Amino acid sequence: MNKKHCIRYMLCVLVGAMLCACQRTTSEKAPAPEMMEPQSGWEEPAASGSETTVLDEFNQVFAGMQGGRVALIYLDDDSVPELLILKDGEYQVYFFDGFEAKRILLPNEIKVNAYGTRYAIEGTEGSEMTFYWFEYVPRKGLVRIHGGEREKRRDYYLTYEDGVLNVELEADDAGYTWNTYDAEGEITNEEFSDRLAKLGYDSLICCAYLYGDVETAYENMGYTADAHKALEDFVSGKTDAVESVESICESPEQGFAGRNFAAINEEVTAGEPWWEGMEYVDFDNDGEDELIIYGYAGTRLYFDVVGDTVYKVLKTGSTTNVSYVAEMDGKRVVVRTDLTHGGRKYYWVMTYDGCGCLTDWFELSAKYEGEDYGAGDRYEYRDRAISMEEFEAIRDKIRSL
């Protein structure tokens, strides 16, 4: 039996399992199911009515797009995958209801962007265009998408059930402030972070690979890459790292602007070997080490991996933007500081997740006259005034690795 018939047969089996309400517990990172030979006398069903295969239905939807890229993922805990399509810079998601493929609905006409700006509060490179991966918790019905206007980033945390996505939480950086919301309106950053963890959004992964057809996407559902090897290949010069996105393309990698390690290292060290340095450290709380490259005057470049693609998350540098990795309240954070100039002490504390997405950001500062601060000076935390004692207590919770 040829591969195409094998795949269709397997998907028929999956549909039957779904209609019988069978539940599957295989992890998202497990290999794709092994194709089984049908029993004697089996014939491929006609592509109509309730016997229509998932593959045929998804193929029909994708063919109607006349271009784009595709993946198959498990959003919920049934036996049939969902169809993810990237087309014209936006994601669309479809589910199979047992008879036909239907588009998963989004509230308030939200568009699921694949391209947009970085967070403005990340630094001077806030205007760069970046690629947004489709992020979800396998089989848990939890999704994060990046919507809003093209030039303004807004993250939506959604729940999926029965063909519908509903917004649970939101975040943006309007006004260079970290703003967080739930369905009722604005909530505190602390409450937002707490709910992300309690609801399970701290386990989001990226859909790392997109393909040119549905069958190839199905065949590669179980494929995972070695993140550490991807970083080693970058450092050894075998591959480049993505720095930004130059153009919106149907095949995203064609629009990526990348450079090799030697060129990046030459720039950040100004060709002087005593500035060179790098380390592997987990700065985003995903249990895997990422890469940090050191350069002149405290320059730091932070790199992460999605699939087998290395990309730059953040660049810091100069005496007003010295950064390091620390722990705070049980999480790894990237801390940017301005501590060497008179009259001020600034800490900007940033929390990333395993998808390279900023999930929390705050400013802690002291402003004073003279050589050092005192009880009567100005202190702020998350845009509100605090006391000197509160300033020192929060500062002391930031523990450098």
Q: pLDDT for 83-114, tens place per residue?
A: 999 999 999 999 999 899 999 999 888 989 99
Average pLDDT over residues 29-35: 35
CA 373 to chain centre: 39
Average pLDDT over residues 215-235: 94
Under 8 Å between Cβ of 35 and 10: yes
Q: Indicate the residue type of 146.
A: H
Model confidence at 245: pLDDT above 90 = yes
Distance between CA 13 and CA 56 in Å, rounded?
Answer: 14
Report pLDDT for 125: 55
pLDDT band at 2 (very low <50, low <70, confident <90, very high): very low
Model confidence at 306: pLDDT above 90 = yes
Report pLDDT for 123: 67
| β-sheet bridge partners, residue 101 | 96
More confident residue, 2 or 162: 162
Query: For strand 135-137 and strand 205-206, is the pairing parallel, antiparallel, or unpaired?
Result: antiparallel
Report pLDDT for 28: 39
pLDDT band at 150 (very low <50, low <70, confident <90, very high): low
Residues whose CB falls within 8 Å of the CB of residue 31, separated by 6 or more in sequence, listed in order: 222
pLDDT band at 30 (very low <50, low <70, confident <90, very high): very low
Angle at which helix 54-65 crosses helix 3-19, to 10 degrees, equals 110
Share of the chain above pLDDT 90, in %: 73
Report pLDDT for 266: 93
More confident residue, 93 or 122: 93
Residues whose CB falls within 8 Å of the CB of residue 76, separated by 6 or more in sequence, listed in order: 82, 139, 140, 141, 160, 161
Q: What is the dihedral of CA 292, 294, 300, 304, to 10 degrees?
A: -20
Helix H or strand E encompassing 62:
helix 54-65
Residue 53: exposure state from Cβ atoms within 10 A (0-12, 13-18, ≥19): buried
Model confidence at 317: pLDDT above 70 = yes
Which CA distances in Å does 167 have to 11, 114, 156, 205, 356?
31, 18, 6, 18, 21
Q: What is the pLDDT of residues 179-193, one digit of tens each?
A: 999 999 999 999 999
Distance between CA 142 and CA 284 in Å, rounded?
Answer: 19
Under 8 Å between Cβ of 134 and 144: no
Under 8 Å between Cβ of 104 and 97: no
Model confidence at 36: pLDDT above 50 = no
Distance between CA 370 and CA 309 in Å, rounded?
Answer: 49
Local structure of residue 17 (DSSP, 8 states)? H
DSSP codes of every residue in 336-400: EEE-SSTTEEEEEEEEE-TTS-EEEEEEEEEE-SSSS--TTSEEEETTEEE-HHHHHHHHHT-EE
Q: What are phi and psi of 101, to 5 degrees?
A: -85, 135
Tell which residue, 315, 325, 312, has the closest CA to residue 295: 315
Under 8 Å between Cβ of 360 and 351: yes
Q: What are phi and psi of 164, to 5 degrees?
A: -130, 140
Q: What are phi and psi of 206, to 5 degrees?
A: -95, 145
Local structure of residue 109 (DSSP, 8 states)? G
Report pLDDT for 276: 87
Average pLDDT over residues 145-160: 88
Residue 6: exposure state from Cβ atoms within 10 A (0-12, 13-18, ≥19): middle
More confident residue, 26 or 223: 223
Mean pLDDT rounded to a whole number for the chain: 86
Among 15-24, 60-69, 149-158, 228-237, the range scoring the smallest mean pLDDT is 15-24
Report pLDDT for 124: 54
pTM of the predicted model, to two decimals? 0.86
DSSP codes of every residue in 287-353: SS-EEEEE-GGG-EEEEEEETTEEEEEEEE-STTSEEEEEEETTEEEEEEEE-SSTTEEEEEEEEE-
